[in-house]
Amino acid sequence: MSRVAVVTGGTRGIGQAICLALKAQGRTVVANYAGNEEKAHAFTAETGIPTYRFDVGDHEATIKGCAQIAAEVGEIDIVVNNAGITRDGVLHKMSFDDWNEVMRINLGGCFNMAKATFPGMRERGWGRIVNIGSINGQAGQYGQVNYAAAKSGIHGFTKALAQEGAKYGVTVNAIAPGYIDTDMVAAVPAPVLEKIVAKIPVGRLGHAEEIARGVAFLTADEGGFVTGSTMSLNGGQHMY
């Protein structure tokens, strides 16, 4: 029986590409989504991948959602924490809600999904968790104190949980994408986007499929010696 993989925010953009890559790898894939039922139904019709709706920033909803997946699909062996939102603005204009929602979903979602699945992985002696961070969590970004803080927190979360999981056969890694040609980036005004691309040494935006290949590598059965790492996929924009 193939291992069950859950991808949060999995019905579009990077999440969709990850779902397809894991399915091609032979995993039994489930996509989580937060609210767009029309998009979720279209995604399932197109890919054959089932979707489950719950807010990963809601602790109880996440515990129940993962329990439902385990009962209906199978015990969860692979988790990709991809779900995330932005509420950009400079600090003096940023509301507490703007801060709190980004932290609740982007960082809190990683905690909630781990609480729901890590104990089972540990008991079974095998698991893969991949957290999607960001170049802006590594380098910072003007107007994103909330997003940068949450994504930076993901990198610390990854290293700490990796230490807990290592002796149980559970690896925990992160991927820090640069600017990828998703709907989120497409919403950036053209003049701003041109300036961003000009700072990327390879001279282009990344593709969602390139992030998905990184996830497939980190979640592979043969990937047990890679843990606590952050894979930077950013076209050379930020190196350290």
- Output the six-digit token pair for 45: 């019709």
Q: Tokens 């032979």 appear where?
A: 26
The shares of helix, strand and coil residues in the chain, as percent rounded to the nearest 5, are 50, 15, 35
Q: Report the C-alpha gap between 177 and 136 in whole angstroms.
A: 9
- Rounded to whole angstroms, the maximal C-alpha distance in the chain is 53
Which of the following is catalytic: 33, 147, 179, 240?
147
Q: What is the dihedral of CA 216, 61, 148, 163, to 10 degrees?
A: -60
For this structure, is 240 an active site residue?
no
Closest CA to 56 of 96, 6, 118, 17: 6
DSSP element (H, E) containing 79: strand 76-81
The conformational region for residue 174 under phi > 0 = left, psi -120 to 50 = alpha, else beta, is beta
Locate 83 and state its tokens: 């779900």
Known catalytic residues are 147
